[in-house]
Structure 1
Amino acid sequence: MMVLRILFPLLVALIQSLVIAALTDQQDFDALQSLKKLWENVPPNWEGADPCGNGWDGIECINSRVVSIKLLSINLTGQLSSDIQELSELETLDLSYNKDLTGSLPTTIGNMTKLSNLFLVGCGFSGPIPSSIGSLQELVFLSLNSNRFSGSIPPSIGLLSKLFWLDLADNKLSGTIPVSEGTTTGLDKLVHTKHFHFRKNQLSGEIPSQLFNSDMTLKHLLLENNLLTGNIPSTLGLVQTLEIVRLDKNSLNGSVPPNLNNLTSVLELYLANNKLTGPLPNLTGMNLLYYVDLSNNSFAASYVPAWFLTLEKLTSLIMEDTRIQGPLPVSLFSLIQLQKVVLRNNKINGTLTIGSSYSNRLQLIDLRNNTIDHFRPSTERAGQNVQIILAGNPICVEGGTETETETYCSIPQPTNDSYSTPPENCTPSSCSPDQISSPTCKCAHPYTGIIIFRTPFFSNLRDKSFFASLQKELILTFKFNNLPVDSVSLSNPTNDLDDYPVLNLQVFPSGQNYFNRTGISGIGFVLSNQTFKPYFFIGENYGYLDLATGSSKSSSSGIIIGAAAGGSVLFLLLLTAGIYAFRQKRRAEVAAKKNDPFGSWDPKTNSGGVPQLKGARCFSFEELKKYTNNFSEVNDVGSGGYGKVYRGTLSNGQLVAVKRARQGSRQGGLEFKTEIELLSRVHHKNVVSLVGFCFEQGEQMLVYEYIANGTLKDSLSGRSGIRLDWMRRLRIALGAARGLQYLHDLADPPVIHRDVKSTNILLDERLNAKVADFGLSKLMGEPERGHVTTQVKGTMGYLDPEYYMTQQLTEKSDVYGFGVLLHELLTARSPIEKGKYIVREVKLAMDKTKEMYNLQQILDPIIASSMAARSLEKFVDLALKCVEESGVDRPTMSEVAKGIENIMELAGLNPNAESASTSASYEGEKKGSENPYTNESLFDYSGAYPPSSAHD
């Protein structure tokens, strides 16, 4: 004790001297500590009082001040503290690809006046973009894409005079594009900004003419997939620096301004899928154009325009349904760069001649549904692999030769072209299950993610030379930035739900078989710091950082041993510090154990093993008690066999639905775990979002986003008071189909819902469909992709008969249930009503020789008089295909979604347009409950069959 009394003051003095000698500014240290408290999974070396001197991972300093934070793809979880404003010298903040960073951006971010690079790509931030961001006068890069930001674009962004890159794509932003008005600034002031990326939001109103002026140096204008209306402003033609213009998939109307061809630097032009009228635009003089898509507009009929032949750089000419007529000149196919010509659904006639001097790169000529009566192939180059499609032309129905009919008159089936970077003159290694053989045949843990191309600038995903070029470009970029990269692999080229080309990317480490945090952040920063790339990257969390942590521990041990040899006094000091640290660690472990939400989860019960979660927030019982006002009756919005559901308001103002199991109920323990695990993995606009859960004090509660307009069943039955017309039902069907398609094709691992029904389709405030209730769902690992044998569970009337007979569950079981759902949308009847099965009733009543298949008596009266007969017939055909007895005869959900899109287009609807602004337009007198959780609660997992074993 005497020794400790002597050493303790020395220890205190030593610690004080270390703090005084620390390199890091105290204000910056306090700010980092505030972030650390709000975040989980921070780097393990974030310890001590000197981030700059001790080299905290992801932190860069100059003269004791923190100037950069780069923490990418390391599974950070939590929110961004308002104390980040204290990092007053911060220049770069990059937290990209941490999907579980949520909440809103603090308004205090506007106080970080030195910030020049703000990258928050692929996170989970939501709420409005704070207007204070306009105070960041040094900002050059602003990338907030692929989050869940809502509200309008802050006009204050127009104050950022140094801004080079503005990317707000793939969010939920709404309202109009802000421009200057009076004393208010707008985006028209961004004359030095090169990139406006606003795709896939909910922006509405007209494109302001004031947005463009001749002083602008804008290169990329990406406004596709929004809700924009009105004319294309003629002022667009003033911005002669433009290289890519994407205005497609909106509702723009009127004539294309004639001065559009002033944009002589444009490489890619997309005006497709709008409501444009007037003459076909004249693109003469736009000599650099290599991709043109003007499809699906209402232009005036015109002969094949002369400007076709002037675009010497043209690779892809896409002009479906543009009312072009007359013969195609043979010289069109001689354009030296030409790869693809798609002129479907026009009135092109005469003889199709491609000659013998057509481009060596030509791959596709798609002229289906025109009036071509003869085809003259090239005899000199008969072996050239050019795909020609003439289905729907007179040549295919009026006596074409057998060879022509067989070769050109059939519609080719889509192929699943696969690609993977081949090994580099070596034999792939046989690696352990958790490692992958690289292109250089080394076993390693790669950093993975997906590359999404902003434009379909390359005509197909089978061009191996393209992949090789991109691979080489990536490797050179990593090497140039001194990153520890050995090789890069590209694989699985496909298109996402919005038809954007997608590639899987694997980056392999050099020197060892894993990356450390510095390497991951460096690679992620290079990929998120996009200056001219035609793609953007969404990275996955890197799950092997603990390997790097182990090596740092060994290094620390060496330091301690060396220090101990320095002298007995120092040894005693360190021993004392060690005892103190040990006690602190024990206290931390005890506290962590108390806070472990699954510390009492008993795997021996029917609830299965401890859940494996990705991002779901764990709420305490006291928190949910507070948010629901002590589970008051006022907030009771529904009940079911499992328990009650309460409306709650979180501290950030978000409305949630809290589903609370009955106290002591053990029913559905496995399903409770399944739903948490599954919903923490899936994120899609047509799948209900899990906010969090509570598992303490004997409680089992799930916290969901609050869905304002109840179940589809409520609206079809009239309980909600919402009137669903034919247009709305088609949009709901498409939304639900896209949600299931996501679960089948894009979720990792894939998911079979297993209980598709109208009570599990919820409608939000805009009547967008969201797939809900995953208590019965099954995850499909790679070995199980064909089917999984499991005890039958589901709901009578929706249950796949093949699954019931064989107990083999496949994605086609969901397709069957969806087919029954389509019958409900047609009839507003329950699947089984008074002993009659709706599918059988439709089949008995229908007569394909009569208009509307003779189904007028069985249709819901609300839609019977408002629908187009042809769209109804196609809808019935699709519904019946989905309920074929054999699963192999049913379409996939991808094919179902595409079928509904075609039906909507047939009915004159834009399948990519947003739903109504609210449900008010469809509401009658409110009836019954105004919430989605009445009667058949989302907690009702019982279905039509007894629960399965814990091993199901």
Structure 2
Amino acid sequence: MGQKVLLFLLHVFIPILVIAETNSQDFLGLQSVKDSWKNTPPSWVSSDPCSDWEGIGCDNSRVTSIKLSSMDLKGSLSGEIEKLSELSTLDLSYNKDLTGSLPQSIGNLKKLSNLILVGCSFFGPLPDTIGSLQQLVFLSLNSNRFSGRIPPSIGNLSKLYWLDIADNNFEGTIPVSNGSTPGLDMLLQARHFHFGKNQLSGDISDKLFSSNMTLIHVLFESNELTGPIPSTLGLVQTLEVVRFDRNKLFGEVPSNLKNLINCTELYLSNNKLSGPVPNITGMNLLNYVDMSNNSFDSSDVPSWFSTLQSLTTLMMESTQIRGELPVALFSLPNLQTVVLKNNLLSGTLDIGTTYTNHLQHIDLRNNLIAGYKKSNTGYSHELILAGNPVCEETGTESYCKVSDSQSNSSGSYTTPRNNCVPSQCSSEKTSSPNCKCAYPYTGILEFRAPSFSDLENSSQYKDLEKKLWDSFESHGLSVDSVSLSNPLKDFNNYLQISLKVFPFGQDRFNRTEISGIGFLLSNQTFKPPKYFGPFVFHGDGYENYEVLPTSNKSSKSSIGIIIGAAAGGSVLVLLLLLAGVYAFRQKRRAEGYSEQSNPFVHWDSNKNSGGVPQLKGARWFSYEELKNYSNNFSVANEIGSGGYGKVYRGNLPTGELIAIKKAAKESMQGGREFKTEIELLSRVHHKNLVSLVGFCFERGEQMLIYEYVPNGTLKDSLSGKSGIRLDWMRRLRVSLGTAKGLAYLHELANPPIIHRDIKSTNVLLDDHLNAKVADFGLSKLMGEDDKDHVTTQVKGTMGYLDPEYYMSQQLTEKSDVYSFGVLMLELITARRPIEHGKYIVREVQKAMDKTQDLYNLGGILDSSIGLGTKLIGFEKFVDLALRCVADVGADRPTMSEVVKEIEAIMQLAGLNPNAESASTSASYEEVSKETAPYTFDYSGAFPPSKIEPH
């Protein structure tokens, strides 16, 4: 009631007291939004947002836009945002500490046309009310932690042009209309379906696509989709980029796919597609084709190999093609890369003499090629024929060897200086291409389907630089220059390039300029050269803001206050009284938000081993919430324990199961481990790492909340405790999943992370027996100054510990590689690393005889591994494990190399390394989700004196 009275008085008296530009209803909505955030811009203290607040745009006193990208905002999105009824653009991108779920009330913003939340940490299901935003044109929610199903109501958004929900945790089928229920097939104006890197599953309905659609991008990569590719896809002749790779699709590729004559990129790799190799003759605009790692019928080299004149990249690894390659293939004018390894190619290789300098890489390893016809000119770029009969006679030719550089997927490009001498800048500033010291705005440009594969071609990056600078200039942004560096391809074949944007005429940007740059990139206003394809920008935070001068409008407001004070003196006392009551209530409310946005107000740096944890979006839970979700931490809900404390199963109101790790009061190292794990897990996101849902730091309790992983630890499965039998194929998948998780930590996390405690109790198995690395309590970050190692006190678990680390106290990524090698040996023997005084590495090395079947290791192998069947690739697996446990770290492979070698072993065994297990744990004997063990073991932290080097 008091708020309504105050609102009435504001409507009546604010026009008298101040010449304000902001509608009072909008002011109250913005104030509520502000109260739920920390780190709002300093200008947000004025009483007139339309006049003074940075990032707020208005039209006739009504708030129409909020653009606050890269502002380092913290908190959640208030449901009171619905008060901004004229809002058309909401861009909160690149604020990694914006978290919580989207409020249901967002559906009341009927005029919203742009909803852009790229690179935040929002989670939970999307509210179905999002389908009420009838004016929505641009919906970009990628790179968050949204989960649940895609709301079918999105199908009601008839004006939607851009739909990007990639890099989240969405699951279930892609919704299509059914009677009165809407679906995504109704989005006839949409041009972009970007759904990659989620957990979408089930068949893709034929109804999803139709000839009435205008789609140009269909990106469904890296999900769990099954069934055939719908034949209706061939009806959408506007398509330019198609990605269905890294799913579980099966069946024949529809023959009408070749009708997509405008398609430039086609990715079908890493599925279970069968039947004949697709005939794509006539798709003459194709630049990039990847159909690798499928189950196609053995067939002759397709005729279209030599006819696609625009082709830059041909990837057909493990596709059963046979016969002799036509010399005309290598004469294609734009060809850069040919990868046809692990096939049945034969005859004599003839590259001819009409190839161009664009052709940089030919990989034909592991085929049946008997000869190589060298031309007089001689092809001088990368050629790999290892594993072919042509290399069996001598093997001394350079093309018979595989070097690290030949498998490198990165380029060395850095924007050159613009005919100037680099400035000597302070440690905090960077010299721009124009040799001026400044604080640049930084981030990563990620291209999801580039049409080229040569990462060393500088001309393409120069085109991108020019496009960026022109775009910034044409939109009135104060940019001096841009710098690109470190192009690389990641696991998903995304091209990532580091971007730095430098300010013009000053050494730093102000908030308005940063917001403008962020919006130009998040809203896809910037259009890169077409051959770079669809992109997303991952912006970093920016701390070195220039303080804006006070607005001239403030002086106008001050004059108005003087005039209004004289005219409204008779009601001022009453108004101030009511305002005071309202302000008090708002303060109490803000304190509640503050407690949620800063739950570490009671953190004791001395007691808890260091400063307050620095989080990247983990959700705060109250003690009462967790008590309720876990049935008062009942014994019935207890699912595991360790040196740290106990783990309880919980059930969120959404139905999502969680695991609550509750520290024991007597835990001596809890503070340090709690801080380490919450900081690290809140910043990493990978399907082979246990996801941190949130935390609780309240009432003296320290609790970490994880996704619930139902099938317990790898150790429990190997010991028989869980009742799950892991045959050879499943053990290969577990090893690959673990390796991928570690490779992500070492090479894609920024900064890199060394786990430091890899062991079988720290690998959990989900419903499909996919591996998830857990327990980051002992992990270490590799800072910029650490170069190639971290000098630190030795910690780890006996038997898994790297002896080089133990002797030198210098921790490197290769220390994790050693532990992983021990884990590989544990996978094949089911023995603990040290058992009855015997060390597993020594035992395997002593028993090995490479002249014998299974290297003479049958006597120490786990009996349940499937010794009655052929263990295909077993010897290569053992060789890899022993390379991982080499005494010297430099002799060990990197984790990304380990990933590639295990994938090769799985392909040798007839498995698709990028498809997850098709079976669920429910099909395995004696398994119950309700009783499966779940253990976190911190007992591995022990004094160095207890560690015995071998």
Compute the TM-score of the two structures, normalised by the length of structure 2: 0.88
Shift of 1:470: 0.9
- What corresponds to 2:609 in structure 1? 607
Structure 2 counterpart of 1:461, which letter? L
Shift of 1:558: 9.4
Shift of 1:366: 2.5
C-alpha contact 1:793 1:946 (8 A) present in aligned 2: no
C-alpha contact 1:852 1:870 (8 A) present in aligned 2: no
Structure 1 counterpart of 2:509, which letter? F
Matches within 5 A, 1:417-496: 417-496=411-490
Matches within 5 A, 1:937-952: 937-940=936-939, 942-943=941-942, 945=944
Partner SS state of residue 826, structure 2: helix
Partner SS state of residue 369, structure 2: strand
Bigger shift: residues 190-199 or 348-357: 348-357
Matches within 5 A, 1:703-722: 703-722=705-724
Structure 1 counterpart of 2:617, which letter? G
Structure 2 counterpart of 1:833, which letter? E
C-alpha contact 1:721 1:927 (8 A) present in aligned 2: no
Paired with 1:101 and 1:307, the residues of 2 have a C-alpha distance of 49
Shift of 1:109: 2.5
Matches within 5 A, 1:12-411: 16-17=14-15, 21-52=19-50, 54-379=51-376, 381-382=377-378, 385-398=380-393, 405-411=396-402
C-alpha contact 1:167 1:196 (8 A) present in aligned 2: yes
C-alpha contact 2:16 2:564 (8 A) present in aligned 1: no
- What corresponds to 1:536 in structure 2? 535
C-alpha contact 1:347 1:371 (8 A) present in aligned 2: yes
- What corresponds to 2:6 in structure 1? none
Paired with 2:869 and 2:899, the residues of 1 have a C-alpha distance of 19
Paired with 1:310 and 1:780, the residues of 2 have a C-alpha distance of 49
Shift of 1:629: 5.3
Paired with 2:138 and 2:838, the residues of 1 have a C-alpha distance of 62
C-alpha contact 2:70 2:542 (8 A) present in aligned 1: no
Structure 1 pair 559/741, CA: closer, same or farther in 2 (3 Å)?
farther
Structure 1 pair 853/609, CA: closer, same or farther in 2 (3 Å)?
same
Q: After superposition, what is the alpha-carbon deviation per residue over 1:61-96, rounded to whole angstroms, capped at 9, x for unaligned?
A: 222222222221222223233333332222222222
Partner SS state of residue 859, structure 2: coil
Paired with 1:253 and 1:333, the residues of 2 have a C-alpha distance of 31
Paired with 2:37 and 2:447, the residues of 1 have a C-alpha distance of 32
Structure 1 pair 750/331, CA: closer, same or farther in 2 (3 Å)?
closer
Shift of 1:472: 0.9
Structure 2 counterpart of 1:784, which letter? D
Paired with 2:164 and 2:766, the residues of 1 have a C-alpha distance of 27
C-alpha contact 1:752 1:779 (8 A) present in aligned 2: yes
Shift of 1:652: 6.3
Partner SS state of residue 734, structure 1: helix
Partner SS state of residue 372, structure 1: coil
Q: What is the aligned length?
A: 922
Structure 1 pair 109/413, CA: closer, same or farther in 2 (3 Å)?
same
Partner SS state of residue 487, structure 2: strand
Shift of 1:454: 0.9
C-alpha contact 1:295 1:322 (8 A) present in aligned 2: yes
Q: After superposition, what is the alpha-carbon deviation per residue over 1:694-733, rounded to whole angstroms, capped at 9, x for unaligned?
A: 4455444434444433322223223333333333332222
C-alpha contact 2:884 2:892 (8 A) present in aligned 1: yes
Q: After superposition, what is the alpha-carbon deviation per residue over 1:821-876, rounded to whole angstroms, capped at 9, x for unaligned?
A: 12222222221222222222223333322332233332222223476422222222
Structure 2 counterpart of 1:394, which letter? P
Partner SS state of residue 89, structure 1: coil
For the aligned residue pairs, the C-alpha RMSD in angstroms reads 3.7
Shift of 1:540: 3.5
Structure 1 pair 555/802, CA: closer, same or farther in 2 (3 Å)?
farther
- What corresponds to 1:7 in structure 2? none
Bigger shift: residues 625-634 or 851-860: 625-634
Pairing partner for 1:820 from 817, 822, 831: 822
Bigger shift: residues 233-242 or 693-702: 693-702
Paired with 2:928 and 2:326, the residues of 1 have a C-alpha distance of 62
C-alpha contact 2:233 2:257 (8 A) present in aligned 1: yes
Partner SS state of residue 371, structure 1: coil
- What corresponds to 1:855 in structure 2? 857
C-alpha contact 2:79 2:106 (8 A) present in aligned 1: yes
Pairing partner for 1:900 from 884, 887, 902: 902
Partner SS state of residue 677, structure 2: helix
Structure 1 pair 283/497, CA: closer, same or farther in 2 (3 Å)?
closer
- What corresponds to 1:6 in structure 2? none
Flag structure 1 segments of 5+ consecutive residues without an equivalent: 1-10
C-alpha contact 1:448 1:504 (8 A) present in aligned 2: yes
Paired with 2:360 and 2:556, the residues of 1 have a C-alpha distance of 64
Paired with 1:299 and 1:86, the residues of 2 have a C-alpha distance of 57
Partner SS state of residue 942, structure 2: coil
Paired with 2:655 and 2:31, the residues of 1 have a C-alpha distance of 26
Q: After superposition, what is the alpha-carbon deviation per residue over 1:87-145, rounded to whole angstroms, capped at 9, x for unaligned?
A: 22222222222222223333333332222222222222223333332222222222222
Paired with 1:117 and 1:568, the residues of 2 have a C-alpha distance of 40
Flag structure 2 segments of 5+ consecutive residues without an equivalent: 1-8
Paired with 1:396 and 1:168, the residues of 2 have a C-alpha distance of 48
Shift of 1:199: 1.9
Structure 1 pair 806/522, CA: closer, same or farther in 2 (3 Å)?
same
C-alpha contact 2:271 2:914 (8 A) present in aligned 1: no
Structure 1 pair 800/115, CA: closer, same or farther in 2 (3 Å)?
same
Structure 1 pair 564/326, CA: closer, same or farther in 2 (3 Å)?
closer
Q: After superposition, what is the alpha-carbon deviation per residue over 1:558-602, rounded to whole angstroms, capped at 9, x for unaligned?
A: 9999999999999x99xxx9xx99x99xx9999999996555545
- What corresponds to 1:882 in structure 2? 884
Paired with 2:594 and 2:310, the residues of 1 have a C-alpha distance of 65
Q: After superposition, what is the alpha-carbon deviation per residue over 1:300-331, rounded to whole angstroms, capped at 9, x for unaligned?
A: 34333333332222222222233333333333
Structure 2 counterpart of 1:83, which letter? E
Structure 1 pair 835/704, CA: closer, same or farther in 2 (3 Å)?
same
Q: After superposition, what is the alpha-carbon deviation per residue over 1:791-835, rounded to whole angstroms, capped at 9, x for unaligned?
A: 222111111112222222211111111111122222222212222
Partner SS state of residue 434, structure 2: coil
Structure 2 counterpart of 1:255, which letter? E
Structure 1 counterpart of 2:404, which letter? Q
Paired with 1:857 and 1:151, the residues of 2 have a C-alpha distance of 47
Bigger shift: residues 840-849 or 818-827: 840-849
Structure 1 pair 100/867, CA: closer, same or farther in 2 (3 Å)?
farther
Paired with 1:455 and 1:614, the residues of 2 have a C-alpha distance of 28
Shift of 1:213: 2.2
C-alpha contact 2:216 2:239 (8 A) present in aligned 1: yes
Pairing partner for 1:672 from 674, 680, 689: 674
Paired with 2:84 and 2:357, the residues of 1 have a C-alpha distance of 57
Structure 1 counterpart of 2:449, which letter? T
Percent of aligned pairs sharing the same letter:
62
C-alpha contact 1:707 1:931 (8 A) present in aligned 2: no
- What corresponds to 2:5 in structure 1? none
Structure 2 counterpart of 1:884, which letter? A
Q: After superposition, what is the alpha-carbon deviation per residue over 1:444-482, rounded to whole angstroms, capped at 9, x for unaligned?
A: 221111111111421121111111111111111111211
Structure 1 pair 564/320, CA: closer, same or farther in 2 (3 Å)?
closer
Structure 2 counterpart of 1:407, which letter? S
Partner SS state of residue 492, structure 1: strand
Paired with 1:776 and 1:813, the residues of 2 have a C-alpha distance of 13
